[in-house]
Amino acid sequence: MKKCLYGIVIVSVLFWFVSLMINPNLSWNIWVIRKELIYLTGIISFAFMSLIMLLAIRSKWLESVFGGLDKMYYLHKWAGIWAISLGAVHYLLKLSGKVLILYFERAPRLRLGIGVSDDFFIRNRKLAESLGEWTLWFLLAALVLTLWHKFAYHLWRYTHKLMAIAFLILVFHTVILTPSSYWSQPLGILIGLGCLVGTGCALLSLFGLIGRKHTYRGQVLAIKTLDQYTMEITCQLNGYWQHNAGQYVFFMHDRLEGQHPFTIASADHNNNQIKLCVKALGDYTKSLQKNIKIGDAIQVEGPYGCFDFRKKAITRQIWIAGGIGITPFLSWLESLQYDVNKEIYYIDLYYCVSNEEEAIFIEKLQRLIATLPNFELHVQYSKEHGYLTADKLNIKQNAQGDYPSIWFCGPVGFANSLKTNLSSKGYPLRLFHQEYFNMR
């Protein structure tokens, strides 16, 4: 993720620097520096906004490039933070002229933002500036709501849909205010590419085309109550459905609530059925458990995700599940029942829950693991045994000096604590795999 973010900054700066070299006659002073910084921050911010729109279309090809839709959404979030932050700097630099005029004499503009005969650009310059300013305030508010997790998800979802309109406004702002000299330079190609790609993605969003090819209708086939907080929902889907163990879907029962992601808790049995385990952790899941009934119409989009232990060459592995995070491992264990290569894997599965009452999947895990020769189940009750740490894991190097890979699904805080602990013990975190199951 960091490579992508830093790469966009570096490419934008390089293209901007080339434009300076093409126009070497600038007479450098505080006003020229300010003007160039306004351009630079605007260019980088717009590049990040274009990336945000591209990531939002949930492309299967991009998912394979980034290693999963969860990684794409994680990048989407941080690209948004960078884009809006740089947009704020861009705006503050624009406002700084009122302060600088108190200390520096206003110098003549040496790089025009428009061509002399470009009447359309001249007439719309003020409009583009005003729209850009109001859009920035909207984006700042959207960022606050995104980071404020107590704000209701279904309300946030509707405000987030306005991002496509905000981007189209920024395209108008960018095209009108970009210096005409840029369009004949490499920087113009970069800006134009961002406009075209981002606009195409924004239109897909506005017309409701994102994910349509991967959307399936169906109905609730069965509901099983596992405890007072958790239920298992079996869905029968229309059409031809296939998924890999460990993938997830966007599930919709109520159109007003919209889609929510759930990991598929079953292997693919070629019967167009999936099982979802839902734990009442928030307003939506609590409402879902009260209102969903057998026979209800549902809709799923997917499958998404590249959380697959078989894609890595390491056969000695540690699986760690935090609470309801056991669901992808259930689907893995089910799929291994029919895998002719199941004997090559040596796996320790740690099922972490608060107490025995919360270990609702233990009998199913024991039944599935009983057929797998090289698997061992460890149940970690935090109230009795304390939290799982690196010292409690079998992470020793083998005779060849190799560590086991770790596959984790559970709360983010648990993952971060565990990674810090593992890193302090010398464990290479490149072997730690997890899903960033956070749509905000």
Model pLDDT for residues 386-428, shown as the tens digit of each residue: 899 988 897 887 777 789 999 999 998 999 999 999 999 899 9
The share of the chain scoring above pLDDT 90, in percent, equals: 65
Q: Which pLDDT does position 25 carry in this prediction?
A: 64
CB half-sphere exposure, 134, CA atoms < 13 A:
8
pTM to 2 decimal places: 0.88
Does 439 map to a domain?
Answer: no
Sheet holding 273-279, edge to edge: 260-263, 248-252, 297-304, 215-225, 230-237, 273-279
pLDDT at 114 over 50: no
Model confidence at 162, in pLDDT bands (50, 70, 90)? very high
* Domain identity same for 358 and 407: yes
* Domain identity same for 110 and 251: no
Pairing between β-strand 297-304 and β-strand 248-252 as defined by DSSP bridges: antiparallel
Most trustworthy range by pLDDT among 14-23, 42-51, 62-71, 334-343: 42-51
Q: Which among 174, 206, 238 is the end of a domain?
A: 206
Q: Which pLDDT does position 363 carry in this prediction?
A: 94
* Domain identity same for 393 and 271: no
Residues in the chain: 440
Does 217 map to a domain?
Answer: yes
Model confidence at 22, in pLDDT bands (50, 70, 90)? confident
Q: Which residue has the tokens 């006003």?
A: 31
Does 440 map to a domain?
Answer: no
Model confidence at 339, in pLDDT bands (50, 70, 90)? confident
* Domain identity same for 65 and 188: yes
CATH number at residue 280: 2.40.30.10
Does 13 map to a domain?
Answer: yes
pLDDT at 2 over 50: yes
* Domain identity same for 239 and 380: no
Spatial neighbors of 432 by CB under 8 A, at least 6 apart, are: 405, 406, 408, 419, 422
Q: Which pLDDT does position 118 carry in this prediction?
A: 60
- Cα separation, 171 vs 177, in Å, equals 10
Does 261 map to a domain?
Answer: yes
Q: Which pLDDT does position 111 carry in this prediction?
A: 47
Does 109 map to a domain?
Answer: yes
* Domain identity same for 272 and 365: no
Whole-angstrom distance between the N-terminal and C-terminal Cα of the chain? 16
Picking from 134-138, 151-155, 217-221, 436-440, which range would have the lowest pLDDT averaged per residue? Answer: 436-440
Query: pLDDT tens, 351-361?
Result: 999 999 999 99
* Domain identity same for 9 and 125: yes
* Domain identity same for 269 and 321: no
CATH number at residue 313: 3.40.50.80
The range of the structural domain enclosing residue 401 comes to: 309-434
Spatial neighbors of 60 by CB under 8 A, at least 6 apart, are: 214
CATH number at residue 56: 1.20.120
Does 173 map to a domain?
Answer: yes
For the residues of 152-221, what is the DSSP string, one character each? -HHHHHHHHHTHHHHHHHHHHHHHHHS-GGGGGSHHHHHHHHHHHHHHHHHHHHHTT-TTGGGEEEEEEE
Does 8 map to a domain?
Answer: yes
> Which one, of 77, 39, 133, 62, lies nearest residue 412 by Cα?
77
Phi, psi (deg, nearest 5) at residue 67: 85, 30
* Domain identity same for 183 and 238: no
pLDDT at 152 over 80: no
Picking from 84-93, 98-107, 363-372, 429-438, which range would have the lowest pLDDT averaged per residue? Answer: 98-107
With beta carbons less than 8 A apart as the criterion, state whether 263 and 269 touch. Answer: no
For the residues of 85-99, what is the DSSP string, one character each? HHHHHHHHHHHTHHH
> Which one, of 266, 284, 263, lies nearest residue 275 by Cα?
266
Model confidence at 24, in pLDDT bands (50, 70, 90)? low
Q: Which among 304, 321, 345 is the end of a domain?
A: 304
Query: pLDDT tens, 310-335?
Result: 877 788 999 999 999 999 999 999 99
- Cα separation, 229 vs 285, in Å, equals 9
The mean pLDDT value for 333-355 works out to 91
Helices (H), 249-326: 283-291
* Domain identity same for 80 and 171: yes
With beta carbons less than 8 A apart as the criterion, state whether 422 and 396 touch. Answer: no
* Domain identity same for 300 and 314: no
Q: Which among 285, 304, 323 is the end of a domain?
A: 304
Domain count, the chain: 3
Model confidence at 112, in pLDDT bands (50, 70, 90)? very low
Q: Which pLDDT does position 115 carry in this prediction?
A: 45
* Domain identity same for 41 and 188: yes
